[in-house]
Amino acid sequence: MSGPLILGLETSCDETSAAVIEAPLTIRGHVIHSQDEHTLYGGVVPEIAARAHLQRIDEVVEQALAEADCRTRDLDAVAVTAGPGLIGALLVGYSWAKALAFALDRPFLAVHHMEAHLFAPSLENPGATPPFVALLVSGGHTLLLHAVEWGSYRFLGETRDDAAGEAFDKVAKLLGFPYPGGPAIEEASLEGDETRYRFPRPMLSKNQLPAAADFYDFSFSGLKTAVAAVVRELEGSGTLDAERCHVAASFQAAVADVLAAKTLRAVEKTGCPRVLIGGGVSANKRLRAELVGRLGAEAELFHASPRLSLDNGAMVARVGAFRLERHEIAPWNSSADPSLPFPGLMRISA
User: Beta 26-34 vs 77-83: how paired, if at all?
Assistant: unpaired
Q: Which domains does the chain have, with CATH numbers?
A: 5-119+309-347 (3.30.420.40), 129-303 (3.30.420.40)
E strand intervals along 167-305: 274-278, 300-303
Quote the longest CA-to-CA distance of the chain: 68
pLDDT at site 328: 98
**pLDDT mean over 79-86:** 98
At 230-258, the pLDDT tens digits run 999 999 999 999 999 999 999 999 999 99
Contacts of 318 (CB under 8 A, 6+ apart): 8, 21, 24, 25, 116, 119, 120, 122, 123
Phi, psi dihedrals of residue 198, rounded to the nearest 5°: -100, 90
Are 146 and 153 contacting, i.e. CB atoms less than 8 angstroms apart? yes
pLDDT at site 35: 87
pLDDT at 349 over 80: no
At 95-136, the pLDDT tens digits run 999 999 999 999 999 999 999 999 999 999 999 999 999 999
The C-alpha atoms of residue 179 and residue 269 are separated, in whole angstroms, by 37
Coil/strand/helix, residue 348: coil
Nearest CA to 58 among 102, 95, 104, 6?
95
- Opening angle at CA 132, ends 128 and 133, nearest 5: 125
Strand order of the sheet with strand 345-347? 300-303, 274-278, 132-137, 142-149, 152-158, 345-347
E strand intervals along 164-271: none
State the pLDDT confidence band at 205, using cuts at 50, 70 and 90: confident
pLDDT at site 1: 59
